[in-house]
Chains A and B, each alone.
Chain A
Amino acid sequence: MPAALVIPAGLGLLFLVLPLAGLLIRTPWTTLPERLTEPGALTALRLSVQTATLATALCLLLGVPLAWVLARIEFPGRRLVRALVTVPLVLPPVVGGVALLLVFGRRGLLGGWLDSTFGITLPFTTTGVVLAEAFVAMPFLVIAVEGALRAADHRFEEAAATLGASRWTTFTHVTLPLVAPGLAAGAVLCWARALGEFGATITFAGNYPGRTQTMPLAVYLALETDLESAIVLSLVLLVVSVGILVALRDRWMTTA
């Protein structure tokens, strides 16, 4: 075995694993139950789960049709649209937050109109958190579902048509069940990304406990004031992430 490869490989692994181990080592296991049930932690946890779930719902509502259009309809500029969809994936989330402010902020392009017409304010609200999370997480869902749609044999849809099914019935009764595994995986990934969202959320929605302070924001804040609390909250996020990895292992980890 060439040492020139094995040694950096070992260091690389260590580099990835050591911080996680550190987290576990520093976890105050004895006071863990109290820490977890502290009102602040519970509030942040509840808000995170709620907003991530709502964001995932929004992504499903808008992202699945988008994935379907990208996978099934030939139109000029399709490649461009697909590229646009993936922009939030590589964009620094804080930039996403700024961009959201410019559009949905009180003086933003749409925000001003929403405010004056309907009295709806999005920034620095819980709805704003959902929007910020959905903005960052939707590409995960669209890419996963589009991949599943492309992999699914579209002739099943033709077979459904010969049996009298309309396009919509075919979509709900044939296409969706066919891509259900891909859809579920995409939704879980999307949810995980939304749960961990930090940059866009703090920029667009701020950091108000109970209203816009999600878990990652609470961790960041606790780091300044109460290290143990930050560790406990981080541990929760780590457990959730590992749980998702285990749940999706058959889909994403079967290259070996």
Chain B
Amino acid sequence: MSDRLLDARLVVDRGVFRLDVPLRVAPGEVVALLGPNGAGKTTALRALAGLHPLTDGHVTLDDVDLDRPATGGWVPTERRSIGVVFQDYLLFPHLSALDNVAFGPRRHGVERRAARATAREWLGRVGLDAQAQRKPRQLSGGQAQRVALARALAVAPSLLLLDEPLAALDARTRLDTRAELHRHLSAHAGATVLVTHDPLDALALADRLVIVEGGRVVQEGDGPSVTARPRTDYVARLVGLNLYRGRADGHGVRVSPELTLTVADRLDGEAFVAFRPAAVALHPARPEGSPRNTWAGTVTGVQRHGDNVRVQLDGPIGVAADVTPAAAAQLRLIPGQRVWVAVKATETHAYPATG
């Protein structure tokens, strides 16, 4: 077995939109394609499944070209060793949960009784023995999700694809299902690609994140490295950081013509500076002393955010600040209010924008 079970470069032209995403996944590895709506994630998944042909590039699974327009190589969906969990599951409404799961093995030439036995085993594995005879409409959202997972895994696919696997679930079910899904994905010996716009799902389920924006990969890496060093506003927002790009000169990064942030790291050239909203302090008057970055800003929005209040501010740079409700009341924060913004250099994290 090679270290790359799946090797793909997904190029799909759709009018003005072009998807171009290289993707390599090792056996047992779970990769999350994470990106905003319209980034091309679902198109990428459909291309892997053979539901949408590539314009260019290739999909190679287990050293077999499934799709390679340059040479005309093409394996249709039904002959690919894949399993797909669709966003709304698409359980066949006329079949019981058991027969939904047995459908794949049956089509792969397994005799009826054996296929049913396999299906029963998988339903047991996802904890749904008791629901085997139910029709999809008699299942809860969480149960339907598990049946869909069992159905996809019952054919022992080399490549498991999941499209927003938890998006259709309510918050409570989502937590339980996420934990359970993680267990099953970890147990899956093949490659797994999951598509999501939810960073929590991606971080909880995937070994590696591939961030896609506008059809391109903008960042790639494991959870900690992506969350610690976001490279686009989208990722920064996902992980809840303020992110700026500027020119570094020692301990200063010039992030706007009027503002140079003092940072704890030392670097030169193009750089990112990131800091948490909770690291931002707001003051009615200019704070004196201490190695702080300070500037004047205007409140543009105030929202509850967990136990705190998230304040959006305009100024030389836009910034989000988390303050306690007490502080917010004391500062009388309303849109249009002028305040002083302060961030300690030690609270910032600066890293090169290149490489």
- Interface residue ranges, A against B (CB under 8 Å): 153, 155-156, 158-166, 169, 173-174, 177-178, 180
Contact = CB atoms under 8 A, between A and B. Distances in A.
Interface residues of B, number: 23
B83 interface: yes
Given A155-B86, A158-B77, A163 B104 contact: yes
Contacts of A159: 84, 86, 90, 92
11 contacts: A156-B90, A156-B92, A158-B51, A158-B77, A159-B92, A160-B92, A163-B151, A164-B78, A164-B155, A166-B107, A178-B94
B52 to A, nearest CB: 10
A163 B103 CA distance: 7
Given A155-B90, A174-B92, A178-B94, A161 B108 contact: no
Contacts of B83: 162-163
A189 B76 CA distance: 38
A153 B91 CA distance: 11
Contacts of A169: 107
Interface in B32-78: 49-51, 76-78
Contacts of A153: 90
A95 B202 CA distance: 66
Interface centre among A161, A174, A177 (most CB of B within 10 A): A161
A160 B82 CA distance: 12
B106 to A, nearest CB: 9
Given A159-B84, A160-B103, A165 B90 contact: no
Interface of A (DSSP majority class): helix
B78 A165 contact: yes
B79 interface: yes
B76 A161 contact: yes
Interface string B247-262: 0000000000000000
Contacts of B103: 160, 163, 165, 173
Given A156-B92, A178-B94, A162 B107 contact: no
Contacts of B335: none
A169 B79 CA distance: 13
B93 interface: yes
A168 B94 CA distance: 18
A161 B50 CA distance: 9
B94 A177 contact: yes
Given A164-B104, A165-B78, A178-B94, 12 more contacts: A158-B77, A161-B50, A161-B51, A161-B78, A162-B77, A162-B80, A162-B84, A162-B152, A163-B104, A164-B79, A174-B92, A180-B94
Interface string B143-173: 0000000011001000000000000000000
Contacts of B84: 159, 162
A155 to B, nearest CB: 6
B236 to A, nearest CB: 34
B162 to A, nearest CB: 12
Contacts of A160: 92, 103, 107
A27 B86 CA distance: 60
Contacts of A163: 78, 83, 103-104, 107, 151, 155
A160 B155 CA distance: 12
B151 to A, nearest CB: 7
A181 to B, nearest CB: 10
Contacts of B108: 164
Nearest to A180: B94
Contacts of B76: 161
Contacts of B78: 161-166
Contacts of A173: 103
Contacts of B86: 155, 159
Interface string B96-124: 00000001100110000000000000000
Contacts of A156: 90, 92
Contacts of A177: 92, 94
A155 B51 CA distance: 10
Q: Which 6 A-B pairs have the closest CB atoms?
A: A164-B107, A163-B104, A161-B77, A159-B90, A177-B94, A162-B84
A161 B107 CA distance: 10
B92 A165 contact: no
A156 to B, nearest CB: 6
B343 to A, nearest CB: 49
B92 to A, nearest CB: 6
A137 to B, nearest CB: 27
Interface in B174-188: none
Contacts of B92: 156, 159-160, 174, 177-178
B132 to A, nearest CB: 18
Contacts of A166: 78, 107
Interface centre among A160, A161, A164, A177 (most CB of B within 10 A): A164
Nearest to A176: B94
Nearest to B107: A164
Nearest to B79: A164
A84 B347 CA distance: 74
A165 B107 contact: yes
A169 to B, nearest CB: 6
Nearest to A153: B90
B44 to A, nearest CB: 15
